Structure 1
């Protein structure tokens, strides 16, 4: 299982509809697919989508980072050098978390194929079926109401409502979307750092006074304002989910120690891959804090890899925001994983259960 070569390709797909948040608008997905070939002919696949406004990465920087790190991996053995490989990925270059994650996914694909196990089983999990929420992009109120109603018709019972570009309008967005939907629909609010502390407290207290209680409020303020996050948590009833504030294990530990959030959002592209995601989830488990597994706007390989991690830590990772494939106009190919709108079922095939 000696690594022979590492190559990258580009995965592209138009979206069904533009993806809009307080940070960006995206019309087409374009990400990096990694193919690691071993001397015995076995292939491992990884994927990562550059999100410049969150991780600071672009397609160009990802390719350069992958090429640089790959130089230290050629010739190493997936089985006997596994721990060294993971260490090299994380220590030879700072930051570049999406590039590292893509490399790690391919490595984990290979090691689980070597053991002839699906990745979730190799990681200690057994759960195969999951339900994800769906994102409602940030648009005018009527469009967001229509998108929310259509999502419910497709079978989604949990909606993530994007907010954050106009605090005054956001209050009305929440109220009108809530009133337009059946009361058994779960709402998650995500302001993508678009509010400040005072706006957040004001908006949330206003809707809570109307007996509107979302399941959670995700990262309402700037990621570096942890004190502000704790201040908000102390003033509102809706639980706080930390997202952009949690890239690393040390950041997760600080938020847990200071009780600045109720939940953590783990994303492979933020933390650098499967190994770090597992560490964060296990740390949260020690604090009896539940987590969400989230994603960037990315292709099916990254989504499937995230679900394998969820399976391994399903007692702690209890919320799933892995809807990116449902947003793509093109159906996944070469995939034994079943994507059926909100419902996703992993494959019993060895490795990820998906190729490129």
Structure 2
């Protein structure tokens, strides 16, 4: 990864919240539907397309910001119709508001779209506003977030498929330069083990992340680790092994995984608020917290990142099934902060179409962020920017 000297604090997001006045000229939301290359099956759902909401905000100075509100069954509270309705209301609210400081606008959005129930739409609106402000001052988002890095490396995900399909995908991703594979598990323990064996043959040098998406009981999660141990396989991370509300199960798996097998456990679905993060940290319920903007909003995510860093807990960044709008914003944040041990920002690679123009440069598993202001992207939106 390339390091970079951070921009002066004059251009930090925190400073701009108290110094930059936002005056919104127009704001719109619309459906963003993109098919997947292949069906994407996880323990609790199956998708054949991303059905998200794109948000476009234009300031009176002519700068346009873009955001994405991804919706994923069983994870986000919103579905696409409710997200579209909430985005329309939020956009109308932005246009009707008088000019106000960025921090005040973002605070108004937190009140207008509160909690986890509107987190995805709130994240999309926050992305668009922050992107527009960054473009207004001519600063790339990764610098706005701190400028720690200009390059990140992502893993890539293999959904729940047959062993032969998994092996084929692993071989393909090996050739493309991916050294870490994230494997969706949790639907059938025996099938999961067979898939892991097949992948191990196809890509023997890869590092593994297991993601059960709440699919196992605590005992099943420990059994998986024991069987992998007997195979000589140690995952680098075990993500959300049990149901989001099974706090004791999460604590048990975390303790056994670390003490017996040397495996860290990440909380994903179990961490949907600052209060959840505090509970996880105070109770030693997980070793890592997975940050997803659609679960928390941008500002909510930044609060949990700060809390986690201060507590010494590991950080992962991921997403739902998103285009390069959502993935790119999260990538800028990850690069700018430079504090994530695990980066899972791959879903744009799994889509059959790319509706986004510009943005980060992709080379296998590596994303390079440029000096273009904001995200440096626009969506193909009626043929214009």
More displaced 10-residue stretch of structure 1: 231-240 or 335-344: 335-344
Q: Does 1:144 align with 2:169?
A: no
Given candidates 150, 163, 166, the residue that maps to 1:128 is 150
Q: Does 1:244 align with 2:269?
A: yes
**Structure 1: how far apart are the matches of 2:122 and 2:113?**
9
Q: Are the counterparts in 2 of residues 4 and 75 from structure 1 also a CA contact under 8 Å?
A: no
Q: Give 2:15's aligned residue.
A: none
Equivalent residues in 2 for 1:209-228, closer than 5 Å: 209-228=230-249
Equivalent residues in 2 for 1:297-316, closer than 5 Å: 297-314=321-338, 316=339
Equivalent residues in 2 for 1:1-356, closer than 5 Å: 1-76=22-97, 80-94=100-114, 95-183=117-205, 185-236=206-257, 237=261, 238-272=263-297, 274-314=298-338, 316-356=339-379
Local SS of the residue matching 1:15: strand
Q: TM-score, normalised by structure 1?
A: 0.94
More displaced 10-residue stretch of structure 1: 65-74 or 285-294: 65-74
**Structure 2: how far apart are the matches of 1:156 and 1:77?**
48
Q: TM-score, normalised by structure 2?
A: 0.87
Q: Give how far 1:182 is off.
A: 2.2
Q: Give how far 1:5 is off.
A: 2.0
Local SS of the residue matching 1:355: strand
Q: Give how far 1:64 is off.
A: 1.3
Q: Give how far 1:308 is off.
A: 1.4
Q: Give how far 1:36 is off.
A: 0.8
Q: Are the counterparts in 2 of residues 304 and 346 from structure 1 also a CA contact under 8 Å?
A: no
CA RMSD of aligned residues (A): 1.6
CA deviation profile, 1:172-210 (whole Å, cap 9, x unmatched): 322332244223x11101111111111111121222233
**Structure 2: how far apart are the matches of 1:87 and 1:240?**
33
Local SS of the residue matching 1:37: strand
Q: 1:43 to 1:233 in 2, by over 3 A?
A: same
The count of aligned residue pairs is 352
Q: Are the counterparts in 1 of residues 211 and 241 from structure 2 also a CA contact under 8 Å?
A: yes
**Structure 2: how far apart are the matches of 1:2 and 1:175?**
56
Q: Are the counterparts in 1 of residues 323 and 356 from structure 2 also a CA contact under 8 Å?
A: no
More displaced 10-residue stretch of structure 1: 328-337 or 250-259: 328-337
List structure 1 runs of 4+ shifted beyond 3 angstroms. 75-78
Q: Give how far 1:75 is off.
A: 4.4
Local SS of the residue matching 2:95: coil
- Unmatched segments (≥5 aa) in structure 2: 1-21, 380-385
CA deviation profile, 1:214-249 (whole Å, cap 9, x unmatched): 101110110111211011112222210111111111
**Structure 1: how far apart are the matches of 2:228 and 2:210?**
12
Q: Are the counterparts in 1 of residues 240 and 266 from structure 2 also a CA contact under 8 Å?
A: yes
**Structure 2: how far apart are the matches of 1:354 and 1:36?**
13
Q: Are the counterparts in 2 of residues 281 and 313 from structure 1 also a CA contact under 8 Å?
A: no
Q: 1:190 to 1:289 in 2, by over 3 A?
A: same
